[in-house]
Amino acid sequence: MAENLLRATQDFHRFAVAYAERYPDDVLTIAQRVSADQDVTAIVAQLAARGQHPMLVCENVDGISTPLATNCFASRERIARLFDTHAGALFDAYQQRANAPVAPVVVSNGPVLDEVTEGEAVDLAHLPMIRHFDTDRGPYVTNAVIVAEDPLTGVANMSYHRSMRHARNALATSLHSRGHLWRMLQTAQARGDTLKVAMVIGAHPLFMLAAASRVPFGADERAIAGGLFGAPLQLVRTPRHGIGVPAAAEFVLEGFIDPHARADEGPFGEFTGYSSDRSTNNVFHVDTMMRRRDAWLVDVVGGPYAEHLTLARLPREAEMSEKLKARFPSVTALHYPNSGTHFHCYVALKQSRDGEARQIMLALLGWDPYLKHVVAVDSDIDITDDSQVLWAMAAHAQPHEDVFIVDGLPGSPLDPSSSANGTTSRMGIDATRGAKFDGIRARIGDDAMRRAQAFIDGAAR
């Protein structure tokens, strides 16, 4: 098989050039000057309203000195091209590579070391960032991957955290997921220390996908990135704390999170479609700024848009699909629709016995803490089409028999409908036909459909 040029290097610039050359119709480049105040999000919103999700490159953004690229993850077909496959086979292709991690390697030099600023010379006014929504507190970094290494093992954790400028050399950020980075911060606090971290802002899409992966505590997402590339992730060490970061990153900030420091952060337009000021209000003190000489701002469109949702969700979907199919061979497909942000899931199956759909839904609701609603349908329903799932609910489900609710479970802290203590209820809807269903689906014969197509084609000439 010919080498996939989209992952041949770990350099975002080379990826962007190769992609634009191979798929020019899937990249929109805007040369005119656009505002750093909401114009980028507005362009993506207007495109999405037309059913278009191209990678967007803005060459001239007012107030920042770099080109901007965004919307990279808005299309599943575009992501699938990184894996030499199509959108329908993306889960399996992703899991195959993610399940074969490759340890990173440290190299002596890389583009991110082109310009290094340390100490009092650090001024975050020189870090490009844009405002995404009118309701945002200000400009935000949405592609902020925080890397923290265990001081004993050297194993790193990577995770995304929205961040805004707080001071000349400090960012206000939220660890609202209270995941592995939060756990590492509590451990640092217990030993009377700060948590040394590096923030990567812009890198190859496969690195960004790895940073969104769901792995157990103690697994290094940099090795997941190596698995996705099929080659070791090349790292350089940050000057002060020696944290391994991608050698070809666009920007890297190095510093520490003080467990005791707090700063106001938010509101920010979150994946729910609401502006959220729920935050842990942490402070990231920056000791070092590293950047490529020709750096781009690689942005992630926030809010309830396809890029934000797909980047955060795809690794989770792939994991859930693999686990479900291994445990329940009757499962044929899994989909988290954009319409449900991260809170809805559709699962298709060929049910072999009564109650199986309910068992599968309970497994999903137990495995994924974000899910609030799961709908189970038969395998002939296209679960990527909301209208087909809604039809199955209308035609097959009886609420008194086919709906169950479990309450008092921990949920997403960003869910605006969750309780004050962050708990939520979860619901399963069995929209499969069931063994006793009596009905024959109306259909048009193949010959008639072919004749109709010929009539339409002839009339169009």
Q: What is the CATH number of the domain that holds 130?
A: 2.30.110.10
Q: What is the pLDDT of residues 11-31, one digit of tens each?
A: 999 999 999 999 999 999 999
Using DSSP's 3-state secondary structure scheme, residue 207 falls into helix
Whole-number mean pLDDT of the chain? 93
State residue 177's pLDDT score.
64
Q: Is 339 inside a domain boundary?
A: yes
Same domain, 282 and 400: no
State residue 1's pLDDT score.
46
Q: Does the pLDDT at position 308 exceed 90?
A: no
Q: Is 79 inside a domain boundary?
A: no
Same domain, 287 and 175: yes
Total count of domains within the chain: 2
State residue 111's pLDDT score.
97
Average pLDDT score over residue span 231-246: 97
Distance CA(342)–CA(371), nearest Å, equals 7
**Which tokens in the block code for residue 62?**
């007012």
Distance CA(130)–CA(360), nearest Å, equals 42
Q: Is 423 inside a domain boundary?
A: yes
Q: What is the pLDDT of residues 311-334, one digit of tens each?
A: 988 998 999 999 999 999 999 999
Same domain, 406 and 291: no
Same domain, 397 and 334: yes
Q: Is 101 inside a domain boundary?
A: yes
**Which amino acid belongs to residue 334?**
L
Cα dihedral value 110, 115, 116, 122, nearest 10: -140
Q: Is 424 inside a domain boundary?
A: yes
Distance CA(147)–CA(74), nearest Å, equals 24
Same domain, 111 and 219: yes
State residue 396's pLDDT score.
95
Distance CA(115)–CA(285), nearest Å, equals 19
Q: Is 198 inside a domain boundary?
A: yes
Same domain, 293 and 248: yes
Q: Which domain holds residue 253?
A: 87-300
Q: Is 196 inside a domain boundary?
A: yes
Same domain, 340 and 286: no
Same domain, 292 and 339: no
Give me the percent of the chain exceeding a pLDDT of 90.
79
Same domain, 375 and 413: yes
Q: What is the pTM of this model?
A: 0.91
Q: Is 209 inside a domain boundary?
A: yes
Q: What is the pLDDT of residues 380-433, one digit of tens each?
A: 999 999 999 999 999 999 999 999 999 988 877 777 777 766 788 999 999 999
